[in-house]
Amino acid sequence: MIRVLLVDDQALVRVGLRALIDRGDTMRVVGEARDGRQALNLGRQLRPDVYLMDLRMPVMSGIEAILAIRADPALACTPVLVLTTFDDHDEVIEAVRAGATGYLLKDVEPEDLRQAIRVAARGDAVLAPAIAHQLMQRLARSAGPVKPDPRVEALTDREREVLTEIGRGCSNEEIGRALFISPETARTYVSRLLTKLQSRDRAQLIVLAHRWGLVSG
């Protein structure tokens, strides 16, 4: 059972999301917050498996909340899946850099949202198809000139291949198909990369892959 904490300042939106998420027996809403500060406090009490969070909220914004969650030892590893109306690329990049596991728009299909929650709970990155390609291009442009980095030089050829696929936004299953390895082996490589590159989550690996020029626009 995946335990989800909803964070949105609109009560009607929370009601609709709760009805969608609670359908079936694989996931359940364990709490609701109307702003980032309340999300932080409820997270400490409820310890959800996934945050489903809007960005533009009063008191404490979604990005401020993500930063606070990542700085809290009790919550730092909890995936945060952003669900918002806005597809502003600067805001997307800011959310990813703050530590968001994924970014979806509120026009997402219901079953796609449920699947995204499952993917986020596994620790995989999730990006709305409508903005994924543009975001990758923007990350590549904003990374600046590629500079030598001893961390990338220390990677094995296979680790570099996996990091490249992560940079393209691929899931473990997609990495497995691309590199002819099992999803379980792909997951092992991802865990190894997180440790080796001292990265907080998969989203940071995406940024590194672009920063090091492993992924072309």
Residues 113, 110: Cα–Cα separation, whole Å: 5
- Looking only at the bridges linking them, the beta strands covering 50-53 and 27-33 are unpaired
Q: Report how many domains make up the chain.
A: 2
Closest by Cα among 186, 189, 188 to 175? 186
Tokens of residue 174, six digits: 């997609």
| pLDDT value of position 131 | 62
Same-domain pairing of 168 and 78: no
Q: What share of the chain is helix, strand, coil (3-state, %, to 5)?
A: 55, 15, 35
Amino acid at 26: T
- Whole-model pTM over 0.85: no
Closest by Cα among 118, 52, 115, 55 to 85? 55
What does the DSSP 8-state code read for residue 130?
H
| pLDDT value of position 179 | 93
Q: Which of 84, 107, 138 is the last residue of a domain?
A: 138
CATH number at 200 reads 1.10.10.10
Q: How deeply is 7 buried, as exposed, middle or buried, from its count of CB atoms within 10 A (0-12, 13-18, 19+)?
A: buried
Residues 205, 202: Cα–Cα separation, whole Å: 5
| pLDDT value of position 170 | 81
Q: Which of 106, 138, 170 is the last residue of a domain?
A: 138
Q: Which of 123, 138, 153 is the last residue of a domain?
A: 138
Owning domain of residue 108: 2-138
Same-domain pairing of 12 and 82: yes
Per-residue confidence of the chain (217 residues) as pLDDT tens digits?
999 999 999 999 999 999 999 998 899 999 999 999 999 999 999 999 999 999 989 989 999 999 999 999 999 889 999 998 876 667 777 887 788 888 888 888 888 899 899 988 987 777 776 666 566 556 555 555 555 677 888 899 999 999 998 887 788 888 999 999 998 999 899 989 988 888 877 777 877 887 787 876 5
| pLDDT value of position 198 | 83
Same-domain pairing of 85 and 176: no
